[in-house]
Structure 1
């Protein structure tokens, strides 16, 4: 069944999801896992990744935004379940393929419309689907990290009143940011997605964010 699902588009999968289809209802039904109250440490301003800059040139409407107040979503069990389903469904829908294999370039951020993509493409799709479901843009932050192998990687960080959670194509389970084992480098500002901020190390979180 999973092989046939992978051949369908992401939109078909989310159509199934909205009609009641879930991959792992037992996971989604688990109580909300409380993250520590300490948010990520923001250490200052940073440059936006070139992948984001190029993505915005090709998708101007998706990057156009007015600076807004930082927001943290109230993480109810229903909201947690929604994050869980979106993370799992996009992970199933998209086949991991490098940009070099797909486009013949080292780095290209785009939506995985052909059902294939790398980590940034998973993140962009999860962000798009959650925004379409009513999640505020200020709480959905593209984040650049070093993964467990030390390689560059991208995840979607979701800012909630229970802490910051990571949606990751390398893991179906949603985790508090500091439980990923990743080294956090930078992410979008909550105020303006086209501004980026430097982050502290997620392996040993310390301090409190001084700026969104």
Structure 2
């Protein structure tokens, strides 16, 4: 047991060094890279293939959008049922992310769903792990974001159905997500995920600098709070 504890401690030290040493010296408006979660670094040591860039291997035809929507919902519900939720105290003490454990916490659900979608041919750039804060409780939580076309969907172990990101922002504040450019990097916002759809440099600056309030973010983009929001109208957490 003592040897195992020493090995785990050494792995955590290596993961910490990885988190610090692989980050850039500065970040731009478009990227805003941040240190990834320590548990994610440990996960990449245990499952290195899950943290490599993977291309899109899906078949594309006129029926593909509906099929992918059903696929997201099927995988979300299947994993939610297959993994037994850990008790609150045990979940808080567990920093090891596992694929298909018998019981697990929110991060185990998220990485398992991502694993299944990668095996189904989805590209890594469309499957981003995300850390959020639950507005109602203030708790930190992990979900999986899946991009399909111009939409971004949220796969969550607390929800039986997949919902769009703009709807999920009523419940969550985004803290940091994987970068779509490199699976091992994390970003403070979804800027790197959505910047290709934004317009001028001034618009990008307004997007990157908008405040925590979703109402103010929408106002910066000329969106009325009562109108239907596009997926890119997101919150930014400092």
Normalising by the smaller structure, the TM-score range is 0.5 to 0.7
Taking structure 1 as the reference length, the TM-score comes to 0.67
Given candidates 120, 129, 134, the residue that maps to 1:142 is 129
Please give the alpha-carbon distance, in whole angstroms, between the structure 2 residues aligned to 1:197 and 1:158: 16
Residues 62/197 of structure 1: CA separation in 2 closer, same or farther (3 Å cut): same
Pick the structure with more strand per residue. 1
Report the structure number with the largest CA radius of gyration: 2
Given candidates 159, 169, 174, the residue that maps to 1:171 is 159
Pick the structure with more helix per residue. 2
Q: Is the CA contact (8 Å cut-off) linking 1:165 and 1:175 kept in structure 2?
A: yes
Please give the alpha-carbon distance, in whole angstroms, between the structure 1 residues aligned to 2:130 and 2:154: 9
Greater alpha carbon shift after TM alignment, 151-160 vs 171-180: 171-180
Given candidates 75, 85, 96, the residue that maps to 1:96 is 85
Shift of 1:62: 2.3
Residues 188/96 of structure 1: CA separation in 2 closer, same or farther (3 Å cut): same
Shift of 1:110: 1.6
Does the alignment pair 1:78 with 2:63?
no
Tell me which of the two structures has the higher relative contact order, counting C-alpha pairs closer than 8 angstroms and 6 or more residues apart. 1
Shift of 1:109: 1.4
Residues 193/59 of structure 1: CA separation in 2 closer, same or farther (3 Å cut): same
Q: Is the CA contact (8 Å cut-off) linking 1:42 and 1:198 kept in structure 2?
A: no
Q: Is the CA contact (8 Å cut-off) linking 1:99 and 1:106 kept in structure 2?
A: no
Deviations 1:126-170 (A, max 9, x none): 001111111111100000000132100000001121411100000
Q: Is the CA contact (8 Å cut-off) linking 1:183 and 1:203 kept in structure 2?
A: no
- The 5-angstrom pairing of residues 38-77 of structure 1 reads 44-65=32-53, 76-77=65-66
Question: What is residue 11 of structure 1 aligned with on the other side?
Answer: none
| Number of aligned positions between the proteins | 163
Residues 88/203 of structure 1: CA separation in 2 closer, same or farther (3 Å cut): farther
**Tell me, which stretches of 5 or more residues in structure 1 are unaligned?**
1-40
Please give the alpha-carbon distance, in whole angstroms, between the structure 2 residues aligned to 1:101 and 1:122: 15
The alignment partner of 2:180 has SS state of coil
Does the alignment pair 1:183 with 2:170?
no
Please give the alpha-carbon distance, in whole angstroms, between the structure 2 residues aligned to 1:202 and 1:140: 26
